[in-house]
Structure 1
Amino acid sequence: GAPALALVAIANAVDLLQRTPVPLERGLCRALLFEPYGIEQLRSIGQELFAVAGGDGARASASLGKSLEVCVRKLARRSGDCRPLKRLCEQAVREAHVDTALAAAAASLSDASSTSTSSDPSTPEKAAQPLRRLTAMHEAQADPLRAVAELPLDQQVLLCALSGARSEAVRFSDVWNRYKELYGRLKQPMTLASG
């Protein structure tokens, strides 16, 4: 007979298969269920993320304070999904890192301006360059749409095909047809698969 086929689908919600049980009732698929995380598990995940980040993680944890605990409790009550917690922790660590780097650059700038002589007016300007670079880097991280330009062309086209959908649920064939149409307009050979 035909070889076995395994299709792996990752749900955006932990209880998605319980809300739409039709494929399970018909015996069309089996679910490998991942249980939602509890309060202690989510708290441990957050602490581990901060511990891995070192000093920046400690500063990020201190800056979040009680809001981290509120986030953990809300997530445990609502969905048990750790991804929002992970994003919150990573964002806090990034901000702590940028704040530390900005403080170091500002200290370097003030040291350079206090030790500069009137014969070398370019020293404070040279010291300000790292501060400008860090500020630009922080602004780039704050805008997720800038990351789209860094994606490979085939992923950008796929993103365009998905963003043109009229609803959240889209059939694969519709996305595939839109993908082929967009690649045709670009006059590029398709790289995902031949169609």
Structure 2
Amino acid sequence: MEKFLSGDLIVGLVILFMFLLVMRRMRKKPGLRPQEWDLAYDFVTEPATTDNEDYKKTFDGISFPVEDNVHLVRLAFLNRGTKHIPLDKFKDAVRVHIPDGAEILEAKFNERFRSTLPAADDPCVDGQTLTIAPFALEPEGILIFNLVLKGASEPESVEAALEDQEEVNRLGLKFRFMRQ
């Protein structure tokens, strides 16, 4: 047994282990290449009764009732891709649906960052559906729409598709209002 665990064998095993460890750290990790067009959306919502005056200021020019069942929603569309999204890349208009029994009291285009204006400044409201005309969006560009909803705290779904992107995903940021 003493010959089997000689100093040379232990040193050899340590060197082999260190070699494998170094080789593992040096290997290249596969990277994901960003998509050319990657449209995403997210929203932040607060009740109309909120004490957050900074949030309410973003709704200047929009009148809304200050009631418990009325919510102020900022809906943002973002281009996370590497290329400009032109108007003709949209397969159809963007549609935002709210739950049954709720209503859209107001919907307005609010602001943009690193983007051209949308084709239609204000979206069209038709019952529980808000339709936004296709819009151009620069890489890392953001368009923000303000919505006033009664009977719902947030949109139920957002439908949009680009030629190379079948559905638009939500970012899912965690700072939105959650009814407890």
Q: Please, what TM-score do these two structures have when normalized by structure 2?
A: 0.21
> Which is strand-richer, 1 or 2?
2
Q: Which has the higher contact order (CA 8 A, sep 6+)?
A: 2
> Which is helix-richer, 1 or 2?
1
Q: Please, what TM-score do these two structures have when normalized by structure 1?
A: 0.20
